[in-house]
Structures are given as structure tokens and as C-alpha cells.
Amino acid sequence: MKKVHTQVDDIIETMKNNNGYATLAYLNQNVDTSNWKTKTPFASIRCYLQRREEFFKIQSGLWALTEYKDKVLEKFKIKKDDKNTKAAFEHSYYQGLIVEIGNMKNLKTYIPSQDKNKFFMEKKLSDIVSITDIPKFTYDNIIRRASTVDIIWFNERGLPSCFYEVEHSTNIINSLNKFYELQDFRSKFFIVADSRRKAEFEDKISQSIYDQIKNIVSFVDYDSISNQYLNMTKIQENKIII
């Protein structure tokens, strides 16, 4: 008896054509849902990913086929039971998402020179940023400090719009100290981390030494970054070209 082709099969085929993994945004754009009898195909895709054993989650918004697990983890240099390799992938993955969001907002995107050979999935971070040298927007000593921030978005005038620090397990204090030195710019500052670190962030930012910046520094969890990336890809896809 011939096996009935299912919606799950459509997702699996799309992932296989993308080396066994995909972001949720990629699946929404590439899975053929034309024959799906549902008004909410994107919600269905998300549901299948979360519930079916054919798929496993690598990071927020990034999924892979269970049958490709070893191959995908090897591709991303993630070793089983090795927290360091997982942390390294996690850091560069969210750096990449934030860079791509900035690119879609038509902002200039920058990462530190020491991160340029790190990978956002299969692309080097240096291949997705829009600028490689930090703009000379102020005094040299401040620029040197700013150049170590994980991601910076610059506006069309070459001034910093947003600063992002991705914190997997390192001390949040280090990032807050950077932001403290950069507080005189009309910029937004974000600590990006797992939602479980929000209480730690709130404890640190409430210290009196940070009174001057506590209203301009925000905590953003990984899921929020992933969802923003997903939403931006939808906006880009639906843009009307005149």
C-alpha cells in the first residue's frame, strides 16, 4: 500500500534539501503548503516541529531532522556533552540573527574583528555584516571600547543606534560596564541571554552604580530575538516592489 504523503513529509523534504536543518523562517518561506487544507500553515509547521519525533531543536528558531542529528551537530562543531562547543555555537548564532535583523532594517551592522571568522550556521559572520570597520563616531578611546561590543547597529549617519551583548554564561557585569561607558550616545543597549538569566540581569542593573543606565539598558531573551528575526523575514517577503 502506497504511503500517503503528509504535511510532515513536506517539512522533511525541505529540510533534506537544506542539509538536514532549517530555521523556522526558512521553512515558512520554502515549505510547499499549497495543498495544505489550513488557514494557518506557519502555525502548523511550528506545531509539527515541537511535537514530532522526526525533528529536534538546536536553538530557538533553529531545527534539524533527528535522522541527521550527528551530521548536523558535526557541521556546526557542536560536540555532545560539551558545554563549550554548544556555548560557542549559541553565541555566534544569536550574533548572526541580530546582524541579519539589522540588515533587514537597512542599518549598518558591525561585529568585533575577533568574531569575524566565527560561523552563523554555514556562513562566516564576516560575510553577513555590512561594514567591517567601526565608524569613527567619537573619540578613539571610546571607539576602542565600543569595538568590543558583540553587535552594533549604525544609522545612515554612521552613529550607533543599538548595542547588543550576547551573554551565554559570562558575567553580565562586564557588558553593563561597557554600556556605562557608552551611555552618552542616543542609543539603545541590550543584554541578550537565556530567559533564565533575566533575574540575574535585574539584580545587577539595580545596583546603584548603574542608576544612570538602568532606564536605557534592556534584557532580551533568545526567543524574542528568534521571533523578531522570523517577523522581519515575513515583512521582507511581503514587501511590495513599485
The confidence score (pLDDT) of residue 240 equals 46
CB contact at 8 A, 167 and 193: yes
Strand ordering across the sheet containing 21-23: 21-23, 62-65, 55-59
> Which SS3 state, helix, strand or coil, does residue 161 take?
strand
Query: First CA to last CA across the chain, in angstroms?
Result: 51
> pLDDT (tens digit, 0 to 9) for every residue of the chain, 242 residues total?
567 889 999 999 999 999 999 999 999 999 999 999 889 999 999 999 999 999 999 999 999 999 999 999 999 999 988 999 999 999 999 999 999 999 999 999 999 999 999 999 999 999 999 999 999 999 999 999 999 999 999 999 999 999 999 998 788 999 999 999 999 998 999 999 999 999 999 999 999 999 999 999 999 999 999 999 999 998 877 654 44
Domain ranges (residues) in the chain: 7-76, 83-233
**Residue 18, H or E segment:** none
pTM tops 0.75: yes
Model pLDDT, residue 188: 96
Contacts of 230 (CB under 8 A, 6+ apart): 23, 24, 25, 28, 61
Task: Identify the pLDDT of residue 227.
Answer: 95
7-76 CATH, one of 3.40.50.150, 3.90.420.10, 1.10.1380.10, 1.10.10.10: 1.10.10.10
What long-range pairs does 177-180 form, CB within 8 A, spacing at least 24? 178/145, 178/146, 178/148, 178/149, 179/213, 179/216, 179/217, 180/209, 180/210, 180/212, 180/213
Query: What pLDDT does residue 2 have?
Result: 67
Is residue 11 within 8 Å of 36, Cβ to Cβ? no
Could you tell me the sign of the dihedral formed by the alpha carbons of 225, 48, 25, 147, in that order? Answer: positive
pLDDT at 214: 94
> Which amino acid, residue 191?
I
**What is the per-residue pLDDT for 32?**
93
Q: What integer pLDDT is reported at residue 242 of this predicted model? A: 40
Sheet holding 188-193, edge to edge: 108-110, 151-154, 160-166, 188-193, 217-221
